[in-house]
Chain A
Amino acid sequence: MARFVFFGGKGGVGKTTVSSAYALECVDAGLETLLVSTDPAHSTSDVFDQQFDDEPRPVEGYDGLSLMEIDPEQEVQDHLMDLKRQLGSQLSPAMVNEVDVQLEMAHQTPGAYEAALFDRFVEVMRDADPYDRVVFDTSPTGSTLRLLSLPDLLERWIERLMHKRERSIDLFEKAAIGDMEPRRMMEGDPILARLQERKERFEFAGEVLRDDASFYLVLNPDELSIRETERSVETLAEADLPVAGLVVNRLTPEPDPDEEGRGARFLRQRVQTERERLERIDADFDVPVVATIETRVEEVRGTILDEVAAELEVDVAPADGVAESRS
């Protein structure tokens, strides 16, 4: 079983519930576990009824479980502020204004959220030493999982930038004849150093994700969520990050056989369609369904979470083993 476990899926399918339950399972198995939530709405705080922030903090009442909540918006702001401070310390105020516009713009591009999250993920993976298992509850920001498939692409991109920079510096050095100081020097070029640092970070992320991470997708038994899951499975497979299993959440409970009211008929019909969809999921996906979870009347929190955890049959043991599917 990999050290880093990611739960992804469409918004509202119950990723937080499933990943919290999984984290509890890991704790029960005696693993020191860190649960990382990236939902700005902070639903893990509600699940455990405690407040958390972006530093890992032990969860009261659960020994061996820590939790942190990452707010992508805050990350982007911090990054921006950091850069502004650096700018301010190096430049005259008049100059700062010019570049400021560009900085602000870069932090409002559609990818900024994901980039910030990705950065933070890598940081968490780097500092993961005290934990046996790190569970990521990825945000429904849609492309978080997609972003995880990107280190390769980003690495190549950075490489190209470095190559361009190297060539121009090389020419500048050649252009400096005699005793003239070249306008740029290869040695100690801060740009190249920065890019190199980035490149190493992407390499690290790519390696860890390929060798030491597994991905689970959470879905509901409805058309939209099945289709979205199909797409996610494909994207991840393309990036050499195979999905380890599917968790089907929010299944309708079956009424007792002697019940004949309108509600019972409705439920029976729903159960019927869901069963068909489950069969379809089994047939269409190469990925095994590792758990099915029935819908609850109340929000999942506290003791109900333990029940859900018991229903979740994702393998938690550090040793390798294929999880059994429930049907």
Chain B
Amino acid sequence: MTLADRIATFRDVVEEWLRGLYHGMITHPAYEKIEKEAEDLEDAFMLACFPDAFGIPSPVSYYTAELLPYLSEEFEAWERRMWDRDSLVERKGQQYHF
């Protein structure tokens, strides 16, 4: 193996590490943050659609029930999440990977 080859391999490794580091520290948390926020919004949407799952009557629940065939998978997961959700600080804190 020539010196040039060894340098090239080394540079490849360094580059991969740097890209990984960048992704882990910058892009990934950002992407995760956005997705978490989207999930939170979706939870709010579900709560607005099916408040009667938690005993709050809603004038439109008869209509939103029509969405259930499309939402059923999310619905079950959402309900479970809502029942044992951590505090807001914990939920928002997850993204900082302490």
A interface list, Cβ under 8 A from B:
79, 83, 86-87, 90-91, 95-96, 98-99, 102-103, 105-107, 109-112, 115-116, 150, 153-154, 157-158, 160-161, 164-165, 167-172, 174-175, 177, 183-184, 190-191, 194-195, 198
Contacts and interface: CB of A to CB of B under 8 A. Distances in A.
B74 to A, nearest CB: 10
Given A98-B76, A109-B52, A168-B41, 4 more contacts: A95-B73, A105-B61, A165-B42, A191-B71
Nearest to A161: B48
Interface string B27-60: 1000110110111011011001110110001111
Contacts of A161: 45, 48-49, 60, 64
A172 to B, nearest CB: 5
B53 A102 contact: yes
B70 A164 contact: no
B62 A106 contact: yes
Contact of A98 (B57, B61, B62, B72): B72
Interface of B: 27, 31-32, 34-35, 37-39, 41-42, 44-45, 48-50, 52-53, 57-73, 75-76
Nearest to B47: A164
Contact of B60 (A157, A168, A184): A157
B75 to A, nearest CB: 6
A195 B27 CA distance: 34
Contacts of A177: 27, 31
Given A98-B72, A194-B67, A194-B70, A115 B62 contact: yes
A183 B75 CA distance: 15
A79 B61 CA distance: 13
A106 B34 contact: no
Contact of B34 (A116, A160, A174, A184): A174
A153 B32 CA distance: 36
A83 B64 CA distance: 11
A160 B72 CA distance: 21
A158 B37 CA distance: 22
Contacts of A195: 67
A194 B66 contact: yes
B34 A115 contact: no
Contacts of B53: 102, 105
B41 A115 contact: no
A157 B63 CA distance: 11
Contacts of B35: 171-172, 175, 183
B59 A103 contact: no
Given A83-B66, A95-B72, A177-B31, A102 B50 contact: yes
A58 B31 CA distance: 64
Contacts of B50: 102, 106
Contacts of B42: 165, 168
Contact of A111 (B31, B57, B68): B57
Contacts of A184: 38
Nearest to A116: B62
B44 A164 contact: yes
A43 B53 CA distance: 37
Nearest to A158: B60
A191 B73 contact: no
28 contacts: A83-B68, A87-B69, A87-B72, A90-B69, A90-B70, A90-B72, A96-B72, A99-B72, A99-B76, A102-B50, A102-B68, A102-B75, A103-B68, A105-B53, A105-B61, A106-B52, A109-B52, A109-B58, A111-B57, A115-B59, A154-B63, A161-B48, A161-B64, A168-B38, A168-B45, A175-B31, A175-B38, A198-B66
